[in-house]
Chains A and B, each alone.
Chain A
Amino acid sequence: MARHLFDGTGTLMRFVLRRDRLRLPIWLLSFAAISAIIALAFVGLYQNAEERQAMAETMRNPAMTAMVGPGYGLDNYTVGAMTAHEMLLMTAVVVGLMSILLVTRHTRTDEEDGRIEMIRSLPVGRLSNLLSILLVLIGANIVLALLTAFSLTVLGIESMDFEGSLVYGSALGASGMIFAGVAAVCAQLSPNSRNTLGLSIAVLLFAYMIRAIGDVTNEALSWISPLNWILRSEAYVNNYWWPILMTVAGALLLMVLALYLNSIRDLGSGFLPSRPGKGKASKSLLSPFGLALRLQRTGLIAWGAGILLIGASYGSVLGDLESFFEDIDLMQQMIAQSAGFSLTEQFIPVLMAVMAILGTIPVLMAILKLKTEEKNGRLEHILSRAVSRNRLMGSYLAMAIVTGFIMLSLAALGLGLVGNAMMEEQLPLGMFYSAGLAYLPAMLAMIGVAMLLIGWAPNAASTVWLYLAFSFFVIYLGGLFQFPEWVAKLTPYGYVSEIPIEEMDFLNAGILIVVAAVLMMIGVIGFNRRDIGR
């Protein structure tokens, strides 16, 4: 009987690969490419051993240990050691996220949408679906390890030999495997796909946090976290294999546990009880804005926490900035030089621009939610009641503006508060805050573009993301590549005053707001004139 539990696994594996034939290669290639790009960037940024050693010194502080893990090989900080030390943890977290997303997609999401039921009605084993996705992910993470190892080796960087690269790649792959195991277990415990995703990501964040706290306070604590295990591989320095084997073994144990749990649970149920929700709606839900807020509440909180964290981590390096940048020509190139300001002050607008563009992501998501709602056939419910299209679109606009305001505030506060705690000479908090809010008009203009598209070309609405990506590219790398001035002016972010090194230009801000308002109005007119449907 046990034999039949796994019938059809091979076919289902091919099916998984067929469904993810683009998704999977894109994920894997991105990891390999990003690892290689970062390593090359380090080679370019730090011309010689002295510069790298200067960097190593800035790594010897608790904030950096908390962020990227305990330092190793700091006495001989080669490019390899630098790449592994500074990039492995962050990349491993994202690899873990990839595994979580893929496992959830093929387990509980399929189950919830009734697709597993159809598969199970065929002559296919009860555990075949879970096993097939797990096998695919094991394979994918092995490919990830090899791909990363090869792409790092072929760069021909002196300190990055094949063995070190293989350890680095395998550490990433092991992280992917263990979080595939975590997600597979969570998929059995949770009653639905949303909880599966939430629980798995909570485990991932917990693993990151407990390691950060442990590394700074008590190392024994860190050993709870699998992310700590893979950091112990110390790629390019000591090349330990045992932490990787230990992680893979842990992953396999979790996967076996998931298969066991899957075999004893009913389709569509979980081991954690699903709490009954409210039988009645609270007052705050009962309006189009209330609904928009409620639908995006979790996302807003998550993004808010993320932006705050990014602000705080940028803030944590402000203290070391002066000594750090003095030696590095390239970084000085990226920052507009202006007399009379400290390097720290010159760096603040650069950081704010990056955070403002990142903070625009949830803002655009908030306004584009209107399009998602339309596509899912839910606007019909709202518009067939006494709600005008102006009010509907206005609610989502309000939601987007509130989101933007919150994101900029949190970014500025995180940067300012932590930055001041780290610096000897404090800068006024109000300056940080105005540096942040100066970006609000640019955000409004982006919202305007999105609304214009939703109103007149709803199927092309997501092209606004390309515009945002373009803005990021131009603003972030503009200084580095020495683009002419007018290129930056192609994005709204190019018109924002760079506080504190520039005075607030209210005329520019006013023009941005007027442009945004006009775009929004044209969008509303279009939305009022067109068919609502899929």
Chain B
Amino acid sequence: MTVLRTIGLTKKFGDFAALNGVNIEVGEGEVYGFIGPNGSGKSTTLRILLGILKATEGRAEIFGKDSWKDAVEIHKRVAYVPGDVNLWPNLTGGEVIDLFIKLRGGGNLDRRQELIRKFDLDPTKKCRTYSKGNRQKVALIAALSSDVDLYILDEPTSGLDPLMERVFQEYVIEAKKQGKSILLSSHILSEVEKLCDKVAIIREGRIIETGTLKELRHLTGTILLVETREPIPALEGFKGVSGIQQKGQALSFQVDAGEVDQVIRYVSQFGVIRIESSPPTLEELFMRHYEGTGQAVESGAGGES
């Protein structure tokens, strides 16, 4: 069942098109990774989904309802952590957490205590004294204490230390087990890889790749690490081979999905001592999309800031 969906979402700020026909779809119980560099339109998409910004064109729906018109109804079942958490300097962390929980319509107080302990937050301190990470913890604790069906998290771990990042991941996995859906925007690719079932890559306001990690990998092919007795000649020009790197005695390279058989046959002539294959990491996938169009990325970067 679809929990969240955007169809042809377009947002213009004056002449600048921040989003250009974005389509994403999050199913029930899915953890959906939303990745892309700064200024590519991640936060704009999330804000439209929350009814904070109004789409210029296209539709954004959550639980089958329009995210602009039915915002309040939708928000009773959604928890959101913004990318840049600004709090009231003269309220304490504890007060802000309670306020946030109450404004959604209540939450679990035992869970609030547990989360404060797990995230190691001092709730009696004024928000003005909190670091970025601590402000993020406040927003995360408020979000995770609420019993909701959908979590929308905008780079929730960008200020957290690795220990806290792990705590966060445990809670995401737990929420997923309970059948909750999560839309996670991030540029920490290892995190997305660990948590997400599906991934969408956005660039300059367009989704350029979407699917499960497996599908994305299949499209890209395999990374091979080969050590041979004799050097392998003319590998550079071989069809479907790219990204050749010398790693100690061995060579590492990427092979396109349809060409694995040909490449293995060719390589085996030179006395294989060791061969390892691995799926490409998300980082490699991501880089491939951006490196391939270096020019476009550079010109697009001017859109932000």
Chain B residues with CB below 8 A from A382, complex form: 103
Contact partner, A286, options B76, B80, B99, B123, Cβ 8 Å? B99
Given known A-B contacts A277-B92, A294-B91, A378-B88, A386 and B82 have beta carbons under 8 A apart: no
How far apart are B216's CB and chain A's nearest CB, in angstroms? 30
Quick check: which of A34-42, A331-339, A452-460, A524-532 contacts chain B, the rest being far away? A524-532
Chain B residues with CB below 8 A from A277, complex form: 91-92, 94-95, 124-126
Chain A residues with CB below 8 A from B98, complex form: 280-281, 285-286
Question: Is the CB of A279 closer than 8 A to any CB of chain B?
Answer: yes
Bound: A381/B54 CA distance, A = 17
Chain B residues with CB below 8 A from A482, complex form: none
- The residue in chain A whose Cβ has the minimal distance to the Cβ of B91 is A294
Question: Is the CB of A192 closer than 8 A to any CB of chain B?
Answer: yes
Bound: A385/B81 CA distance, A = 11
Question: Is the CB of B275 closer than 8 A to any CB of chain A?
Answer: no
Chain A residues with CB below 8 A from B92, complex form: 277-279
* Interface residue count on the A side (C-beta < 8 Å): 36
Given known A-B contacts A276-B125, A378-B87, A383 and B94 have beta carbons under 8 A apart: no
Assess the B76–A386 pair: CB atoms within 8 A.
yes
Question: Is the CB of A388 closer than 8 A to any CB of chain B?
Answer: yes
Chain B residues with CB below 8 A from A378, complex form: 86-88
Chain B residues with CB below 8 A from A276, complex form: 122, 124-125
Chain A interface mostly: loop
The 8 A CB mask of A300-332 against B (1 = contact, 0 = none) is: 000000000000000000000000000000000
Given known A-B contacts A294-B91, A385-B75, A385-B104, A530 and B99 have beta carbons under 8 A apart: no
Bound: A385/B54 CA distance, A = 17
Question: Is the CB of B232 closer than 8 A to any CB of chain A?
Answer: no
Question: Is the CB of A250 closer than 8 A to any CB of chain B?
Answer: no
- The residue in chain A whose Cβ has the minimal distance to the Cβ of B152 is A384
Q: Please report which residues of chain B, range 90-135, place their CB below 8 angstroms from some CB of chain A when the two chains form the complex.
A: 90-92, 94-100, 102-105, 122-126, 128-129
How far apart are B84's CB and chain A's nearest CB, in angstroms? 6
The 8 A CB mask of B199-219 against A (1 = contact, 0 = none) is: 000000000000000000000
Assess the A278–B94 pair: CB atoms within 8 A.
yes
- The residue in chain B whose Cβ has the minimal distance to the Cβ of A193 is B128
Bound: A532/B102 CA distance, A = 22
How far apart are A325's CB and chain B's nearest CB, in angstroms? 46
Interface size class of B (residues with CB under 8 A): 35 or more
Chain B residues with CB below 8 A from A280, complex form: 94-95, 98, 123
Chain B residues with CB below 8 A from A274, complex form: 126, 129
Assess the B52–A285 pair: CB atoms within 8 A.
no
Assess the B52–A387 pair: CB atoms within 8 A.
no
Chain B residues with CB below 8 A from A394, complex form: none
Given known A-B contacts A277-B124, A280-B95, A385 and B100 have beta carbons under 8 A apart: yes
How far apart are B159's CB and chain A's nearest CB, in angstroms? 14
Chain B residues with CB below 8 A from A379, complex form: 52
Question: Is the CB of B72 closer than 8 A to any CB of chain A?
Answer: yes
Chain B interface mostly: mixed
Assess the A295–B88 pair: CB atoms within 8 A.
yes
The 8 A CB mask of A357-399 against B (1 = contact, 0 = none) is: 0000000000000000000111111111111100000000000
Contact partner, B86, options A194, A287, A376, Cβ 8 Å? A376
How far apart are A380's CB and chain B's nearest CB, in angstroms? 5
Assess the B89–A194 pair: CB atoms within 8 A.
yes
- The residue in chain B whose Cβ has the minimal distance to the Cβ of A388 is B72
How far apart are B121's CB and chain A's nearest CB, in angstroms? 10
Contact partner, A387, options B53, B72, B82, Cβ 8 Å? B72
Contact partner, A383, options B52, B76, B139, Cβ 8 Å? B52
Chain B residues with CB below 8 A from A388, complex form: 71-72
Residues of A with Cβ closer than 8 Å to B?
Answer: 112, 192, 194, 274, 276-281, 285-288, 290-291, 294-295, 376-388, 529-533
Closest 10 CB pairs of A and B: A281-B98, A277-B92, A276-B124, A281-B95, A286-B102, A384-B80, A385-B103, A279-B94, A377-B86, A279-B123
Residues of B with Cβ closer than 8 Å to A?
Answer: 47, 50-54, 71-73, 75-76, 78, 80, 82, 84, 86-92, 94-100, 102-105, 122-126, 128-129, 139, 152
30 A–B pairs (Cβ distance < 8 Å), ordered by A: A192-B129, A194-B128, A274-B129, A277-B91, A277-B94, A277-B124, A278-B92, A278-B94, A279-B92, A280-B94, A280-B95, A281-B95, A281-B97, A285-B95, A285-B98, A286-B98, A291-B88, A377-B86, A380-B82, A381-B87, A381-B139, A383-B50, A384-B75, A385-B80, A386-B104, A386-B105, A388-B71, A388-B72, A531-B52, A532-B52
A sample of 20 more A-B contacts (CB under 8 A), given A285-B91, A288-B103, A384-B78, is A194-B89, A274-B126, A278-B92, A281-B95, A285-B95, A287-B103, A290-B99, A295-B88, A376-B86, A377-B82, A377-B84, A383-B50, A383-B51, A385-B75, A385-B100, A385-B103, A531-B52, A532-B52, A533-B47, A533-B53
